[in-house]
A and B are shown apart, each in its own frame.
Chain A
Amino acid sequence: MTGPQPWRHRHLLDVAHLTAADLDTVMRRADEMAVILRHRGARRASLQGVGVTILFYEASTRTRVSFEAAAKRLGADVVNVAAASSSVTKGESLVDTVRTLEALGADVIVMRHGRSGAPYLAADVFGGSVVNAGDGWHAHPSQALLDLYTLRAHLPGGRIAGRKVVILGDILHSRVARSNVWSLTTAGADLWVCGPATLLPGFEAWARALPADRRLTVTADVDRALAGAHAVMALRLQQERMTAGLLPSLAEYTAEYGLTTARLRRARPGALVLHPGPMNEGVEIAPDVAAGPTSVITEQVANGIAIRMAILELLAAPR
């Protein structure tokens, strides 16, 4: 690394556009934020007078609260718009909503939406910065950045390059998996994605199309995926996958792909356990694994605030 690079992005819509230097910039800034967070009540006024509107079209607790806490710690004026309680339910278009929020003083819109690509439409209309807090199956940049931050904090030497990281579960419908493909392969990890074959289509072709300096392996064989892994991230499995005929039953999923202590033994001793939450304990992850000695799941949540402070400050602090 040649030291901190100037931040060039107005929005954070995807992880695909972030270079290794960009990732490093976010990590360093998050380190600064972590220091502030360790002092109860400490603030940093870098977003004083900046209007941050949190616009969520999907239910979420942790991401919404995390962004809200991050913005407040930086002194921003925070407005929370839950889509169910706004004119959204009266059929107002996203474009009109964004224009209205801008007129009401938003400088930053932190947005969660069920449709892939929706933040791109918002960014096209909005005069300020858009932060994608999760769009459809596409991207969840702040989650991928906090995952990277958490891994760096725990892997020896803070080194991601060459480490085997496994994402396990419903890959197809996961914005967390897609964003982590970009961030972790950019950081040089040996990334594996694993799940039942019905939840993997397209990823093999993606892996083949990636440039040779990015390592992505796709497999339905959980034992092969876990062998020698430095870190394993289990993904939430949603009930809808059963009704859509993608899986026979939750019980079968748990038996074949659930992250249990026995399975985790295939990974490297001390392998880290991650989960983006919310967890279905006993389905995709066994309770004793989630609460196990190498689990960093709670820490992911805490790191999320530091990462989101870093993101907001990089995008929106007056320069």
Chain B
Amino acid sequence: MSPRAPRPGEPCRHLVVEDALLVDPASGHHGPGTIVVEDGRLAEVTWATPARSRKAPAVVVMPGLVDLHAHLREPGGEDTETILTGLAAAAAGGFTTVCAMPNTTPPLDDAAAVRDVLARGRASRSPVRLLAYGTITAGRSGERLAPMAELAAAGAIGFSDDGAPVDEAALFAHALAYAGGIGRPLVEHPELRSLTRGAEAHDGLAATILGLAGWPVAAETAAVARALALLEDVARQAPAGAAPRLHLTHVSTADALALIRAAKAAGLPVTCDVTPHHLALHDGWVGGDRRFAWEALAAPWAGKATAAEAYDTATRVNPPLRSPDHALALWAGLVDGTVDAIATDHAPHPETAKRVEFGDAAPGIAGLETALPLVLAGVAAGLADLATVVRALTAGPVRALGLTARGVPEPGLTVGATADLVVVDRAAPWTVRAATLRSRAYATPLEGRRLESRVLATVAGGRFAYLDEDWAGGTDG
């Protein structure tokens, strides 16, 4: 043993993880093996010959996770989250790259604001890479374009008015074309807001019984259909080298996914992500059901056995938690490649915004620290294989937004590369408590819930970003 465990931020001088399950999306290889990190570089990757009789190891090593969609609230919302606490939460969740949404106060709609946020990320000394979006429109007002080229020059990786979708169709088309011209994607939150005014919960059985105003599936389907139609037009007319790119974030319905699947088949430059909570939870959670989506597909009343109180505002998100059949369709989309990425939509809120009447509560929940365990719970239930979800958490998002061009390393377990990886134990249960999460978010729907998987170590850019204090293995020199 070394005299003391390394602290976050310190260089990863020596780390050995033996007899783990290695998953390498760069080579497509996965199986048991051992990795050795020396002086911040991946010095050895040894693939073992898998013995047939042996169970797959519980400990998994995969590249550092990449989150395309997180709200870190700084500047302007520091009581709720800061870049420091947000990146600490990311590190504890296994993320080594975080793309911050621009709906801060003020929003990231000018170059100085983008530069300021990126500078704050560096000043945090977190090894986790902080990237930032700029807004699509000035002030997220949906009225005129933000200075996209200046924002890109300041470091914006793409543009989004997340939460305030661009309602005006012509302006959205212009934004797609203009962003394409400067080589950046648009990240759109698909919501037809004339259908969601006053909406509180997915308009399924739970909303009917609870008397909550329904949030129609069509609000997402119609917005996705419109965005794809505009994308097709813009793509057809784009000059060479200025192809538009559209990324649809937190897709929550089977119907929208079907449209995206068809658009991809037709060759449109579209990608999408889904969130861990839309994969694992469902609208029954608003009514107090606490079964995972795959456990709740039939028998709507059987959830009483695991029930919490109804109207927990920690179950209020945008888009809303959908019915279990939609969740299962998202898994199917992951498996068939329609879904490019899993993104957290980490959206912390303070007590004052959450400890209120359900319909008045701000939508959004902490997601960074529970994303990987939730997704691995679905893998354990057989909804997708491990390699598929690892790809969607690493190489998928990097490819979807072209992040290697923004300085993000290609995710992989490549000998000689700077170490950027996460070690997770799939048989190390822990109980979620909002109060002990690194995020400042007031609430999580998983409060009190036992999750089976635990992040043991996160190494970003050759430095420790997170190390589980009880994990002694691997770091002794």
Contacts and interface: CB of A to CB of B under 8 A. Distances in A.
B355 A93 contact: yes
Nearest to A181: B209
Given A202-B203, A202-B205, A209-B205, A115 B210 contact: no
A201 B355 contact: no
A121 B214 contact: no
Contacts of B212: 116-117, 136-138
A116 B209 contact: no
B358 A115 contact: yes
B300 interface: yes
B355 A95 contact: yes
B211 interface: yes
Given A202-B214, A209-B300, A117 B209 contact: no
A117 B358 contact: yes
Interface in A213-253: none
Given A115-B359, A209-B300, A120 B207 contact: no
Contacts of B200: 116
Contact of B208 (A16, A115, A124, A202): A202
A206 B205 contact: yes
B211 A121 contact: no
A139 B357 CA distance: 15
Interface string B204-225: 1101111111100000000000
B317 to A, nearest CB: 16
Nearest to B213: A137
A117 B210 contact: yes
A136 B356 contact: no
B79 interface: no
B207 A115 contact: no
Contacts of B310: 117, 120
Interface in B289-311: 300-301, 309-311
A202 B360 CA distance: 22
A213 to B, nearest CB: 12
A175 interface: yes
Interface residues of A, number: 26
A118 B301 CA distance: 23
Given A116-B311, A120-B309, A139 B211 contact: yes
Contacts of A118: 357-358
B203 A116 contact: no
A1 interface: no
Interface in B177-213: 200, 203-205, 207-213
Point out which of B300, B301, B355 has the most chain A C-beta atoms below 10 A from its C-beta.
Answer: B355
Contacts of B301: 209, 211
A205 interface: yes
A147 interface: no
Contacts of B205: 202, 205-206, 209
A178 interface: yes
Given A93-B355, A94-B356, A120-B311, A136 B211 contact: yes
B352 interface: yes
B132 to A, nearest CB: 33
A137 B211 CA distance: 5
Point out which of A116, A124, A206 has the most chain B C-beta atoms below 10 A from its C-beta.
Answer: A116
Contacts of A175: 211
A121 B357 contact: yes
A110 B276 CA distance: 39
A64 interface: no
A121 B309 CA distance: 9
A253 to B, nearest CB: 21
B306 to A, nearest CB: 16
Interface string B333-373: 00000000000000000001001111110000000000000
A135 B360 CA distance: 14
A205 B310 CA distance: 20
Interface string A87-99: 0000001110000
Interface in B357-391: 357-360
Nearest to B312: A120
Point out which of B208, B212, B213, B352 has the most chain A C-beta atoms below 10 A from its C-beta.
Answer: B208
A90 to B, nearest CB: 15
B211 A93 contact: no
A93 B205 CA distance: 29
Contact of B211 (A94, A116, A205): A116
A124 B309 contact: yes
A113 B311 CA distance: 14
Given A124-B309, A178-B211, A115 B203 contact: no
Interface string B2-16: 000000000000000
Interface in A105-122: 113, 115-118, 120-121
A115 B204 contact: no
B64 to A, nearest CB: 39
B353 to A, nearest CB: 11
Nearest to A96: B355
Nearest to B203: A202
A139 B360 CA distance: 18
B210 A138 contact: yes
B312 to A, nearest CB: 9
A202 B202 CA distance: 11
Point out which of B207, B311, B355 has the most chain A C-beta atoms below 10 A from its C-beta.
Answer: B311
A307 B72 CA distance: 51
B359 A93 contact: no
B359 A121 contact: no
B311 A117 contact: yes
Contacts of A16: 209
Interface string A271-299: 00000000000000000000000000000
Interface of B: 200, 203-205, 207-214, 300-301, 309-311, 352, 355-360
Interface of A: 16, 93-95, 113, 115-118, 120-121, 124, 135-139, 175, 178, 201-203, 205-206, 209, 211
- Interface pairs A-B: 8 shortest CB-CB: A138-B211, A117-B311, A202-B208, A137-B211, A115-B357, A116-B211, A117-B358, A118-B357
Given A95-B356, A201-B203, 18 more contacts: A93-B355, A113-B357, A115-B360, A116-B200, A117-B211, A117-B212, A117-B311, A121-B357, A121-B358, A135-B211, A137-B213, A138-B211, A138-B212, A202-B203, A202-B205, A205-B204, A205-B205, A209-B301
8 contacts: A95-B356, A121-B358, A135-B211, A137-B211, A201-B203, A202-B204, A202-B207, A205-B205
